[in-house]
Chain A
Amino acid sequence: MSFQGPEEYDYLFKIVLIGDSGVGKSNLLSRFTRNEFNLESKSTIGVEFATRSIVVEGKKLKAQIWDTAGQERFRAITSAYYRGAVGAMLVYDIAKHATFENIDRWLKELRDHADDNIVVLLVGNKTDLRHLRAVMSEDAAEYADRNNLIFIETSALDSTNVEHAFQQCLNEVYKRVADRHFSNVNIGQTTALPTTNLQSTILEKKFCCNS
């Protein structure tokens, strides 16, 4: 096992992936961070995460993306992982209507546990299964509009829009940070990560020892 050496970045943003089991959260993560897709990837037990950095308006943003187990039962433990998240991707499977119906529940979960200013994307995944589509784009778009979410459809399998979805999420987070939506941004060399509120987790750094 090897570890990355010191890495420079300007901001560290924590993004959480949530949604029903089997909608493709882990594959969205692996597609974005490693450009990998695995049809038989194991179910996520507990929490996993991966990182990738992108540049927005000349600033290097490091996205720390957390992937959680989909089954509702594990919420009792995973809800702690919402702490410090500045962005969330609410994922459903366009070929399984029930996963879209449950978005309401996930949204409530976010509202209960995450910061009020969190950027939320509604992500309809698996657009490659177009012949099995069960959730109309218009319905999802309307839902997103009603709930003030950014809506996008993706396919982790054929890569459609995956990059774009994460970019959009990070852009919006950055915009809110730049507009000072998140006050008291912690500036400095601290390596402390998620504490009790959002403000302390948007770390503005020039240099960090951790990968």
Chain B
Amino acid sequence: MDKEGRLTNVSSVKMAIFKGGIDQSIRQEVWKYLLGYYGWNSTYKSRVEDRKKKIDDYFRMKLQWKSFSDEQLSNFSALRDRKSLAEKDVLRTDRKHTFFEGSHNQNIKILLDILLTHCMHDFDLGYVQGMSDLLAPILVVMEHEVDAFWCFAGFIKMLGRNFEKDQQAMKNQLLQLQILLTYIDPQLASYLENHESLNMYFCFRWLLIVFKREFNFPDIMKLWEVLWTGLPCKNFHLFVCLAILDSAKSTLMENNFGFPEILKYVNDLSGNIKVDEVLETAEAMYMQLKNSKNLSDAIKKIIGLDASNENDNSFSSPFQPFHPFEVSEKVISSQNKDVVNDKKQTSDEINKCRTAEEILPSANGNVETAFDHMEDIRKPNDEKLNSNKLSECSDENSIEIIDHVNFCT
């Protein structure tokens, strides 16, 4: 960081995250950048101001739904229905995790408050099932209602179209996945086609909530932060799908599974997928594809190699989350396109990662080869978070609510 608290080498930070994830000890701060809570160019001063505004905004929105009387709610079905749906879902979201377990757990209430406040933040989208799944790990990491809200809002901003009514974004992604699979693994694609499964419907859950149900908390945190870097290409999450399918391929084909069996097998993979292996395979698949000649325009567009992206430099741009569906998204730069297949430039990246180590001391910068990475640098017990902390935070927040009420009145 420079003397004003501005990150000086954003691209290296992102690369380090992509290569090794983030240590639990600094995850809370780094996620704020990845999820757009803080701008990559923010300074000490702007961050303090931003946070103050975010806190005010949050409680203003929270007060909006909190202040509805029962009578008003009874005449406001749109909000009432969302509330009822969210109430049902928070009670069954990650209840086995220490942070959310037990009856009368205050963190469940905070989940609900954030989700309903988000309804006021984006009323057109509202509450859609799956959102509580996305919020839970964020709340666990942030340990603070307002911070969790804004990080969640940033995540939903990236993924919002997944939840839209027409489900067109989901259909598009399933189609994109089909296109990539047909190119990368025609044998499996042909098998799926002959077994009425090439619609890829069995990947719906993976895509809707970005693999949340497939991994435990430490692993999903790592996977998400890797995807949030926007590296190494647009729609990298589709390569994650392809990597998981690659590991399932022999079972599916040897057992001659039809659609129902494929669906069941894929659903049952939950909890049995190794995140590091999957990320390694996904990156290898991407590089293999990228180095292929005669890529179709459709594929180039999916991975962001089409002409409109040629002159961008995402590594130096501010907040650059992955936007699974936005055609206009600019992720990979012409400069960075060469990194993965050019030894000299790969060693440049190693140097960049070493620089990043200074910024993120715990990030793994040991990039020996393009494939040799993804070491797990997390602490082993990061699931055992102190659930009391958030309660303290919520007390603090309730004071802020009172302040805000006083201010409003």
Contact = CB atoms under 8 A, between A and B. Distances in A.
Contact of A193 (B88, B89, B196): B196
A40 B89 CA distance: 9
Nearest to A22: B88
B165 to A, nearest CB: 6
B267 interface: yes
Nearest to A71: B129
Interface in B159-205: 163, 165-167, 170-171, 195-196, 199, 201, 204-205
A21 B95 CA distance: 18
B128 A73 contact: yes
Contacts of A76: 165-167, 170-171
Interface of B: 84-85, 88-89, 91-93, 95-96, 128-130, 132-133, 163, 165-167, 170-171, 195-196, 199, 201, 204-205, 208-209, 213, 255-261, 263-265, 267-269, 272
A193 B260 contact: yes
A45 B85 CA distance: 14
Contacts of A74: 129, 167
Contacts of A49: 260, 263-264
Interface of A: 1, 3, 21-22, 40-43, 45-50, 64, 69-71, 73-74, 76-77, 80, 98, 191-195, 209-211
Contacts of A73: 128-129, 163, 165, 167
A195 B263 contact: no
A45 B209 contact: yes
Contacts, number: 97
What does DSSP make chain A's interface, helix, strand, loop or mixed?
A: loop
A193 B259 contact: yes
Contacts of B165: 73, 76
15 contacts: A1-B272, A3-B255, A42-B213, A45-B213, A46-B201, A46-B205, A47-B201, A48-B267, A70-B129, A76-B167, A77-B170, A77-B201, A191-B258, A192-B196, A194-B260
